[in-house]
């Protein structure tokens, strides 16, 4: 906790990495400091902020982001110094730039109303979208001024399934009843190449909220307890770390390692 993999000692960044051993050789993994942040909001349209997690996985600091937003605005995701917002299901989509204190400093309109569509997650210059639970799933690649420059359909419809998150080459999906869940694996052109099920039980009612390369954020429904799963190199859970008990009215919106 508090660190993320950067590279190997020979500058290769593949993780995992396969090596053909033909002579004695030493490989050292380099890590850099990484602050892990959880984005929270007091229901749709409510006030929001970030928890910065300490080495024990518990909240160590609170960074207020905004007071009550009203008008149904939902903070959908956080990625580095940007937050993805949408005015309810099918409404306007935009991005906030954040300063070092986690406060919004600039607003970028991404798209006007998009009836029925939900902006699910943000990863770099890609936004994961779905036409409602069980509907078409696709990716926007953003161009200049954060306006969509390309659209990629990942799947035409997946009845009963919800696209939960996007990180690197993984799209996180969960069946509406809570289980099963797993990943679509993407290639460099954002084509779905494989399905990787998550090999861990999930209590009824739990929601997979977001993920990074190293962690997944879960919550026992809106306002319920929340925690992190450690993920191995294949995205499989290794350990469970509680973050908070029940927090009435609050929804865990996103997870990021900065």
Taking only the tens of pLDDT, the chain with its 258 residues reads 677 788 999 999 887 788 999 999 999 999 887 789 999 999 999 999 999 999 899 999 999 999 999 889 999 999 989 999 999 999 999 999 999 889 999 999 999 999 999 999 999 999 999 999 999 999 999 998 999 999 999 999 999 999 999 999 999 999 987 888 999 999 999 999 999 999 998 888 999 999 998 899 999 999 999 999 999 989 999 999 999 999 999 999 999 987
Give residue limits of the domains in the chain: 39-257
Average pLDDT of the chain to the nearest whole number: 94
Q: Exposure of 1 by Cβ count < 10 A (0-12 exposed, 13-18 middle, 19+ buried)?
A: middle
CATH of 39-257, one of 2.60.40, 1.10.3470, 2.120.10, 3.40.50: 2.120.10
| pLDDT tens per residue across span 223-256 | 999 999 999 989 999 999 999 999 999 999 999 9
Helix (H, G, I), strand (E, B) or coil at 144: helix
Helix (H, G, I), strand (E, B) or coil at 31: strand
Q: Exposure of 79 by Cβ count < 10 A (0-12 exposed, 13-18 middle, 19+ buried)?
A: buried
Residues forming beta bridges with residue 50, ordered by sequence position: 39, 63
The two three-digit tokens of residue 184, written as one number: 């679509």
Measured in whole angstroms, the distance separating CA 191 from the mean position of its chain's CA atoms is: 19
Cis status of the peptide bond prior to 189, with omega within 30 of 0: no
Helix (H, G, I), strand (E, B) or coil at 145: helix
Q: Give the Cα separation of 54 and 35 in Å (integer).
A: 8
């Amino acid at each position: 906790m508090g660190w993320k993999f950067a590279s190997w000692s020979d500058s290769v960044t593949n993780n995992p990495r396969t090596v053909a051993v033909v002579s004695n050789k030493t490989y050292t993994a380099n890590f850099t400091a990484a602050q892990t942040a959880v984005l929270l909001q007091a229901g749709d349209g409510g006030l929001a902020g970030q928890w910065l997690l300490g080495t024990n996985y518990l909240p160590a600091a609170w960074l207020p982001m905004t007071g009550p937003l009203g008008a149904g605005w939902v903070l959908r995701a956080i990625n580095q110094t940007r937050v993805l917002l949408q005015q309810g299901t099918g409404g306007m989509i935009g991005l906030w730039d954040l300063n070092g204190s986690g406060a919004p400093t600039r607003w970028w309109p991404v798209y006007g109303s998009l009836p029925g569509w939900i902006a699910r997650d943000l990863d770099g210059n890609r936004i994961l979208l779905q036409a409602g639970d069980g509907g078409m799933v696709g990716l926007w690649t953003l161009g200049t001024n954060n306006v969509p420059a390309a659209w990629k359909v990942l799947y035409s419809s997946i009845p009963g399934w919800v696209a939960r998150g996007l990180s690197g080459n993984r799209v996180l999906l969960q069946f509406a009843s809570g289980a099963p869940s797993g990943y679509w694996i993407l290639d460099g052109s954002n084509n779905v190449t494989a399905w990787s099920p998550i090999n861990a039980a999930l209590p009824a009612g739990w929601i997979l909220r977001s993920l990074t390369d190293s962690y997944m954020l879960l919550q026992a429904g809106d306002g319920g307890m929340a925690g992190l799963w450690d993920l191995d190199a294949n995205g499989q859970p290794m350990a469970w770390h509680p973050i908070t008990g029940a927090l009435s009215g609050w929804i865990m919106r996103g997870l990021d390692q900065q």
